[in-house]
Chain A
Amino acid sequence: MPKILLVEDNEASADALARRLERRNFSVVIAPDGHQAVSLARSTQPDLVIMDLGLPGIDGWDATAIIKADVDTRHIPIIVLSAHAMPNDRHQALAAGGDDFDTKPVQFERLLEKIEMLLTTRGVSASASDI
Chain B
Amino acid sequence: MASLELPPPPDSIALRADELFAKHKHEIYVHTDRLFASLMVLQWVAGILFALWISPLAWFGTVSRTHVHVWAAIFLGGAICSVPALLGVFRAGEPSTRYTIAVAQMLMGALLIHLTGGRIETHFHVFGSLAFLAVYRDWRVLVPATIVVAADHALRGVFWPQSVYGVLVASQWRWLEHSAWVIFEDVFLFVSCRRSVADMKDTALRTAALEHAERESSLTAAQLRITQQQAESATRAKSDFLASMSHELRTPLNAIILYSELLQEEARDHQQAGPMKDLERIHSAGNHLLGLINGILDLSKIEAGKMTLALEQFDVRAVVTDLASTVAPLVQKNANTLVVHCSEDVGPIHSDLLRTRQILLNLLGNAAKFTRQGTITLDVARRVEGGAVNVVFVVTDTGVGMTEDQQRKIFEPFTQADVRTTRKYGGSGLGLAIVARFCSLMGGRVSVESQLGRGSQFTVVLPVDVAAVVDAALYAA
Contact = CB atoms under 8 A, between A and B. Distances in A.
A83 B294 CA distance: 11
A87 B307 CA distance: 8
Given A10-B255, A105-B257, A16 B262 contact: yes
A17 B251 contact: no
A43 B344 CA distance: 57
B265 interface: yes
Contacts of A117: none
B255 A13 contact: yes
B279 to A, nearest CB: 13
A84 interface: yes
Interface in B231-274: 247, 250-259, 261-262, 265
B198 interface: no
Given A83-B250, A87-B308, A19 B257 contact: no
Contacts of A10: 251-252, 254-255
B297 A16 contact: no
Contacts of A105: 250, 253-254, 256-258, 286, 290
Majority-rule SS of B interface residues: helix
Contacts of B265: 20, 23
B310 interface: yes
Contacts of A88: 308, 477
Interface residues of B, number: 23
Contacts, number: 55
Contacts of A20: 258, 261-262, 265
A88 B250 CA distance: 18
A16 B250 contact: no
A107 to B, nearest CB: 9
Contacts of B308: 87-88
Interface centre among A17, A54, A83, A88, by most B CB within 10 Å? Answer: A83
Nearest to B256: A105
B312 to A, nearest CB: 12
Interface residues of A, number: 19
Contacts of B259: 12, 16
A45 B443 CA distance: 49
Contacts of A19: 262
Contacts of B253: 105
Nearest to B247: A83
Contacts of B290: 105
A108 B258 contact: yes
Nearest to A11: B255
A10 B253 CA distance: 11
A23 B259 CA distance: 13
A104 interface: yes
Interface string B181-225: 000000000000000000000000000000000000000000000
Given A87-B310, A105-B290, A16 B258 contact: yes
A13 B247 contact: no
Nearest to B289: A105
Interface string B280-324: 000000100010001001000100001010100000000000000
A72 B164 CA distance: 125
A122 to B, nearest CB: 25
B3 to A, nearest CB: 37
Interface of A: 10, 12-13, 16-17, 19-20, 23, 54, 83-88, 104-106, 108
21 contacts: A10-B251, A10-B252, A10-B255, A13-B254, A16-B254, A16-B255, A16-B258, A19-B262, A20-B258, A20-B261, A23-B262, A23-B265, A54-B247, A83-B251, A83-B254, A84-B247, A85-B250, A105-B250, A105-B256, A105-B286, A106-B258
Instruction: Give 3 closest A-B pairs by Cβ, nearest first.
Output: A16-B258, A12-B255, A105-B254
Interface of B: 247, 250-259, 261-262, 265, 286, 290, 294, 297, 301, 306, 308, 310, 477
Given A83-B247, A88-B308, A105-B257, 17 more contacts: A10-B251, A10-B252, A13-B251, A13-B254, A13-B258, A16-B259, A16-B262, A20-B258, A85-B294, A85-B297, A104-B250, A104-B254, A105-B250, A105-B256, A105-B290, A106-B254, A108-B258
